Amino acid sequence: MSTTVRAAAKINLHLGVGAPREDGFHPLDTVYQAISLYDDVTVAEAEEDSLSVAGSPYIDVRDVPGDASNIAVRALAEAACRSPHHVRITKQIPVAGGMAGGSADAAAALLAHDRLHGLAQPDEVLLAQAARLGSDVPFSLVGGTARGRGRGEVVEPVTDRGSWWWVVVPAGTGLSTPDVYRHFDRLHPDAPAQPAEPTGLLAALASREPVRLARTLHNDLQESAIDLRPELGALIERGEAEGALRGMVSGSGPTCVFLCDSQEGAMAVMAALSASYDVVLPAVGPVAGAHVVEVL
């Protein structure tokens, strides 16, 4: 028997970062949005634990761990059943791109395992398991648009009746999240203990007006990512010159995302950027969190 769960990429519409806490983590106040780029994770009963990873034509999976260190495999260690499993991951979310692809895989594995074995664990149990795996994993379960606080793992859904069109441009090589945070600390030694709140952005989401949302997009890590990879700044300038309402680094980068005024606007920006960049993808948000797509 096997169960396949689909989980979406995330972007941060707002990412406020505070000074490091005593435990080394940075307090966050963020607004996540799940967008229509997906990984599929299949969990199957097996005679021994194993893992396989495949990518779509534009996703290089060579840097995805192929052993027990993979977060999707570690997710099964959080589960109630300890029987052997085969985990198969099919990736469409950019690897090491600031879009929580690993977190999506972990969330999908948790849900797939739960449904495979008929555990029907309450949402709060799955969310607690997810939080132990990583800051973005609870949101990958919830999906939609949500506010994250703490390390990002305390998730509260946000009402969002908009349909927001994005153009996504992954980078050829990843960017280490710890490196970006360390550089943020160097650039901002006097960062406030509490991160900036997303008040204006939440109001913009309620308005359903793309121009208003564009004005309120915010990422405290963008300066650090661009300082480490200056070509990201050039990409953002290019995308905005081609008609995007606003471009920004996704999370800790290096993927860049561009908010457009409509589906037609996104297609036009995508076509323009495709002349210079190998991979340019359209996406819409918000979309659902982790959900079952196949049971065999």
State the catalytic residues: 10, 136
Evaluate the omega torsion of the peptide bond into residue 286 and state whether it is cis, within 30 degrees of 0: yes
As a whole number of angstroms, the distance between CA 152 and CA 136 comes to 6
As a whole number of angstroms, the distance between CA 80 and CA 90 comes to 24
Cite the beta strand spans of 196-242 per DSSP E.
Answer: 218-219
Structure tokens at 124: 């709060």
Single-letter residue type at 59: I
Helix (H) or strand (E) holding 54: strand 50-55
Structure tokens at 192: 């406030």
Are 223 and 187 in contact by the 8 Å Cβ rule? The answer is yes
Single-letter residue type at 100: A
As a whole number of angstroms, the distance between CA 169 and CA 258 comes to 8
As a whole number of angstroms, the distance between CA 1 and CA 296 comes to 6
As a whole number of angstroms, the distance between CA 197 and CA 111 comes to 31
As a whole number of angstroms, the distance between CA 123 and CA 216 comes to 31
182 Cβ neighbours under 8 A, 6+ residues apart: none
Structure tokens at 107: 């969330």
